[in-house]
Structure 1
Amino acid sequence: MRRIVLLLVIALLHTVVMAQYANIRIVKEPSCLKILQVDFRESSTLVYIKAVSPSNDYRANIGEKTFIRVKGSNKQYPLINSINMPIGSEAEEHRMIFDNEGQEHYFALEFEKVPETSSFDIIENESSEYAFNFYGVQIDTLVKKDYVDLDKMVEDYPIQKEIGAYLKNNVIIQYAKAKGIILTMYIQAVKQYGKYFTVNMDLQNFSGKSILFALNKISAEGYVVKDGQISKTIPLEILSSYEYDKKVANKQAWSNFWVALGEGMAASNAGYSSSTTTYNGNSHTSAYASAYGYAGNTYGYANAYGSAYTTTYGKAHTESYNGAAAYAAQQNARANVERHAAGQYEIRQQLNEGYVKNNTIQNQVEYSGFFNIKYKKIDHIKIDFVIDGITFPFFL
């Protein structure tokens, strides 16, 4: 008898701490989401949700500060984990991408243990009309349901495509993942043999097969924003490695020309030396004379005084030529020109080696590099990579 009572107590406790319900009514919920089941487990509460994409390229996540608020209580039960739906935060943005309108996806949110109650709210962000907020979740605790197999749910409805972003040294790093392919990139406006949007990228292939990376399968467009709305869309030109190398070679050729011209002019004057001497002088002379005598019966005399000042100016310029100095200057100029040209060639080689090109990327191989997009004055830029038939979108 005592054994039977003990078994009944254990069964009762199991029912209390391991209860799951599927008969649920909700006063207000997002149009694209539906709560399917709530499991009150021993240490946490799981809420199973079905999502239906309202559009193509729909993007979704769940905020890390999402919580449950029980009616009649100020206590909040925070989100512990999200199964099969990315969690977004202020520091890192993670979102899954739906490919098609009407696409279904199943995920579960795990919260701190919530008391079994007939009504609560799930709040992601009450200040946003686009947030995943559920109000007045009412559970019929008389109708119970079997547990959901989380492993099977994830297997049947995996996240097909995910994007994310984070900051590193004040630069926005973005990534996209799909079917074992991970593409990471960041964009910077730079002046290097022209003005460009330089895209630095890293491609990792864990798809289990070889994939093709082709530059001609990348597209880019810019957006001009006015009054908070996109007012203009501008197609952007992506340069191939050959096109960019031609621009580098042309600008380096002009750079080499001007350096050679400057060095040559300096060397041609190096053997000559000159000096200039200026001088000035002053002189002063004076004279006195007197005369006297008779003129007829009259005696007379006369005095005369005189003075003169002179100033002279002069400049002397001399030039000389030193053949040894001229030869040494020419040799030095030639060395400077060759050194500059060699440095330019090394830069060109490094740029060409780092510039991405069409490549077959083997499984478990990583490929990195950069490419340039012709600069336009825009507010936002969108770049789409198509790899193995999958579009990897980036927006900045």
Structure 2
Amino acid sequence: MSEQPKQENGKYIYKKQPPPKQTMKQILFIILLYINDINGTIYAQENVDTLYYNRLGKIAANTLFAEYYPIALYPADSTCQKEFKDFYNSGELRKEGYFLSISSFDDSETVFDGEVRSYFRNGNISEKSHYDNGRLHGEYARYNDNGKLVAHAFYQAGELSGTCKKFNEDGSCQIVEYDAGKPIHDYYLLSDGDGNTLKFRITDNTPIWESPAITERFVDYRDGTPWEVYFKNGITIALTNSVIKDYGKWHRIDLIISNNSTMPIEFTPEFDISAYSTDAQGLTTYAKVWAHDEYLKKVNRAQTWMAIAVGISEGLASAGAGYSTSTTSGYSNRTGHFSYTTTTYNASTAYQANLASQQRIANFSQALQDEKNIKQMGYLKKNTIYPGESVSGYVHVERIKGKHVIFVINIKGAEYIYEWDFDRKNSFLPYNCR
């Protein structure tokens, strides 16, 4: 019979226990632990406590119901750290590290102090942590059974502090900033495997789309052309502006939209772009943004009238082809001076002229079609922009005379504001280059 446990400082300490049923491998390993020279200190058998815990970490009434057991090593020198190793009942190492005290009834009340590591049955590490007098303090990391990192955080005096990262199975990473155990912000940052990021509310996991401040806008030059650029909410939007004559007089805005967020974006230019013109007195007038189909209808009408005019002109020219006139003049004693005109028709000449006319009409029509195709390809239409994708093109905006023009791009409720001024050469410069 083993001695009854003695209570010291509210905890039961077993001084002697009957040996558990162990495999030979376990017995050899425990013997090695019993006689272990650490820092020159020899650990004796009577200084070793063996307890058994179930899956819930509670003391097991019978070793048959035990999930694991610890081996606690108490050094002869009380100033040295006390070391422990937990083992699964099947013999694999479960946990190791340093402690101040081990509870005889509930393993959750064990007081750790120093580095502690936990392991899966396959030998892969499951947790790395550091304790200071029973409280988590310092770097913490958790892994899955394949060795992949699933959580990384920092603790201070038992509370989360600093950046906490949670890695999801889909490759995304959830990032929260903590101070004294509480989130600093009401949102967390979600980043996917490609580095695309977006903010989400902690309370309901809904995305947050924030309008950027004007100070977040910067100017970038490409081949001497200024572009106003924003990077916000994982979205990059670059815009440049010019005034052109193209079946009308327009503000032509060229756009590049890159989606580096974690969600798809639906962009419809005529609905998601607003434009305003401001005169010298500060009066603001709304300027219409032309949709792709609407603009092409205007192009089609203009090209149709142009084609009709060319067709009429060529038709009149080809209708007279093949005909030639000659004038004969002379003198007669009876009638005096006379002249007469003779008209002749050459079918071959008329045919060749008609062919040439038809070719010119065809060339003109093809040129118009090519121009329309280019406009159709370049003009921005409704697009769904998925994470990692970009779209680029131009949009025509009604041109209203003024000193200042404003374009507002609306994406998911966030407004990206672009401002342009005229310079003395009647070309546009970004507002923040004044």
Q: TM-score, normalised by structure 1?
A: 0.48
Tell me the TM-score normalized by structure 2: 0.44
Larger strand percent: 1
